[in-house]
Structure 1
């Protein structure tokens, strides 16, 4: 199968798998135990946390059980410090783990108010729209760095500058940018970012929050017995991903451009046209007169894996809220599909996928 759903998850890389097996076989002690086996396991964990911290401006790292939990961990920490009272800035195009969680909190706490900043038709958030919505009681702003369905790269430096002037903590969901796109933690005045191991060829079941030096660090590990092999594999995957980031981006920009060029002109690319504002890992498309679900199933029958949006929308059969927020009609939003790539994606796979997507359109038009 040609796998073009790397934004949903990635296979573990060989380097991460090697570290996982090495640690599982040789450092299996409980890191909370005081004997030598436990101490050895604890040292492995601390080395892994140090490696992760070095990937983002030497930030302090807190391990979570997923990227979604990482997002919610940050939000809960900042809001609980204010007793769930105050004003929060976000937008409708955030990941469901943020968008739905904030909606729940907004309903649960009467003194909490969540406000959505508008996005333009390409998914950008303009700093002036953030600035004009800051209030004296704004206690948090949370905006993703890379939009998870269409791949638009937000100008978090400019947004962070505006928020810093008002002394508003700034969190960014960096699940789709960590290890792929440079994250300007200090320049953007970010208080915290979140990510997930399985998006960068690490193990599933692990996320992380990186807190800036301006935020008091918390305990780096979840309660209970830490999964040393998985955390060490996460650190290895992050280190490898950072080292190959520049080469991978060059390869992926060429891949994405080739895919877009080979598709029928009727297919609408959703996202940014400027290369510096668009993640090369993601290509969002609207396919005229064909529901995304239909296109996904048709591709699957041809051995190609694509998505209709975020994998975390499981069970939600409506159109992606992202497309509605961008100004698309309900009917157009239902035609959306997402293709996503990695350094493992080849030009031959792109050629085959483009051909099959074109044939799907041709067959449907012929049978209409």
Structure 2
């Protein structure tokens, strides 16, 4: 049976060149980067060289990059760090959106239970925030605005630069979760007008367990980890040199082939849309496209099965495809197995049953047109089985 991996938004395989770059730092250059002897200094140099590569990639200063354990920690660091810093000045209001990753949503909900007010902005039917709605939500107590750059379930690109200008106008720190955009499209912190930005290595063919938080110089943020003086005193804990080096290598590869990768996955996405239209025929009426091409990045393609036509849930879709060798998801890998409908799809205005019957295809470097053809054929088989049952009723 053919095996096709179309879940690159959940994670990506580590590039062999990334593994090669990391290996010496497990065995030969193993010193603690906080140590002052030569073993430690060698490790420290590797960290700082990596920091510079990553900073250059997003047009930041190396001192503005704080290494973390990944996207979730970076998001939490930004949310809690700015919230508690703002609280010292009597500000306890946060603005975010209804379709954020749970690393942002759950952090905001926690703060909401502990004395903060949180505004969750609605999105339109394409998943896009209206900057005017954000502007209306600002109060004198607003201490943070957090809007993700690219949505992890449907691929919607938010007007981050415009939102950033509004945040600057009001003097409010602005954070964006760029986990799904970093390394895929241009992420320039100055053009985006952001003060804080989260990213992770394992979405761009780097190792799991490493990410960073960009914090613009001059932004006051409370510590998230306490202990040693690592990361210029902002994030305690011995740095993982191999993972940091691997992250920088993955970024280096992205800088060389980001445009090529983008064009490749765009061909795959466009081909899948056309192939589904051809193969599904009359069954197209059962599908709802949640990722319109003009509003999203081509890396993600999300469909729902219209509950008004047939009843099918995500488990039937996901497991049905998996049994046929096709790996996909019904949204964020962090909520996989949940019986709750996707909060993102619900925010688009879909009903609960339709939201439950959603599937996300996400493309990567190693995918081919043949992979897409095979996936569409198996997708059709799974939906057809449910459609025939519905018609029989």
Give the alignment's TM-score, normalised by structure 1: 0.95
1:224 and 1:331 map into 2 onto residues whose CA distance is: 45
Tell me if the contact between 1:146 and 1:153 (Cα under 8 Å) persists in the aligned partners: yes
Please name the residue that 2:265 is paired with: 252
Q: Is residue 339 of structure 1 aligned with residue 358 of structure 2? A: no
1:132 match: secondary structure: helix
Please name the residue that 2:24 is paired with: 22
Q: Among residues 201, 210, 215, which one is paired with 2:214 in the alignment?
A: 210
Tell me if the contact between 2:94 and 2:142 (Cα under 8 Å) persists in the aligned partners: yes
1:200 and 1:40 map into 2 onto residues whose CA distance is: 26
Please name the residue that 2:226 is paired with: none
Instruction: Provide closer, same or farther for how the CA distance between residues 216 and 90 of structure 1 changes in structure 2, counting only shifts above 3 A.
Output: closer
1:148 and 1:365 map into 2 onto residues whose CA distance is: 28
Q: Is residue 224 of structure 1 aligned with residue 237 of structure 2? A: yes
Q: Is residue 3 of structure 1 aligned with residue 2 of structure 2? A: no
1:12 match: secondary structure: coil
Encode CA deviations 1:119-153: one digit per residue, 9 max, x unaligned. 00100011111111111111100000001100011
Please name the residue that 1:284 is paired with: 302
Tell me if the contact between 2:60 and 2:189 (Cα under 8 Å) persists in the aligned partners: no
Tell me if the contact between 2:207 and 2:243 (Cα under 8 Å) persists in the aligned partners: yes
2:303 and 2:218 map into 1 onto residues whose CA distance is: 40
1:200 and 1:23 map into 2 onto residues whose CA distance is: 20
1:344 CA drift (Å): 1.5
2:93 and 2:149 map into 1 onto residues whose CA distance is: 21
1:361 and 1:314 map into 2 onto residues whose CA distance is: 20
Please name the residue that 1:124 is paired with: 128
Q: Is residue 148 of structure 1 aligned with residue 138 of structure 2? A: no
1:311 and 1:211 map into 2 onto residues whose CA distance is: 27
Tell me if the contact between 1:33 and 1:39 (Cα under 8 Å) persists in the aligned partners: yes
1:349 CA drift (Å): 0.4
Q: Is residue 183 of structure 1 aligned with residue 203 of structure 2? A: no
Tell me if the contact between 2:173 and 2:219 (Cα under 8 Å) persists in the aligned partners: no
Q: Is residue 94 of structure 1 aligned with residue 100 of structure 2? A: yes
1:77 and 1:138 map into 2 onto residues whose CA distance is: 14
- Residue segments in structure 2 that go unaligned for 5+ positions in a row: 224-229
Tell me if the contact between 2:68 and 2:212 (Cα under 8 Å) persists in the aligned partners: yes
Please name the residue that 1:168 is paired with: 172
Tell me if the contact between 1:66 and 1:196 (Cα under 8 Å) persists in the aligned partners: yes
Please name the residue that 1:235 is paired with: 248
1:294 CA drift (Å): 0.6
- Residue segments in structure 1 that go unaligned for 5+ positions in a row: none
Please name the residue that 1:310 is paired with: 332
Q: After the TM superposition, which residues 68-87 of structure 1 pair with which residues of structure 2 at under 5 Å, given as runs? A: 68-83=72-87, 85-87=91-93
1:285 CA drift (Å): 0.5
Tell me if the contact between 2:82 and 2:220 (Cα under 8 Å) persists in the aligned partners: no
Encode CA deviations 1:251-275: one digit per residue, 9 max, x unaligned. 111100111111132322102331x
Instruction: Provide closer, same or farther for how the CA distance between residues 365 and 118 of structure 1 changes in structure 2, counting only shifts above 3 A.
Output: closer
2:297 match: secondary structure: coil
2:317 and 2:184 map into 1 onto residues whose CA distance is: 28
1:225 and 1:135 map into 2 onto residues whose CA distance is: 40
Give the alignment's TM-score, normalised by structure 2: 0.89
Tell me if the contact between 2:290 and 2:304 (Cα under 8 Å) persists in the aligned partners: yes
Encode CA deviations 1:292-323: one digit per residue, 9 max, x unaligned. 11100000000110001101114521110111
* Higher mean displacement: 283-292 or 89-98: 283-292
1:188 CA drift (Å): 2.6
Encode CA deviations 1:174-219: one digit per residue, 9 max, x unaligned. 0000000112411232001001111111111112101223436985
1:367 CA drift (Å): 4.3
Tell me if the contact between 1:126 and 1:159 (Cα under 8 Å) persists in the aligned partners: no
Q: Is residue 353 of structure 1 aligned with residue 371 of structure 2? A: no
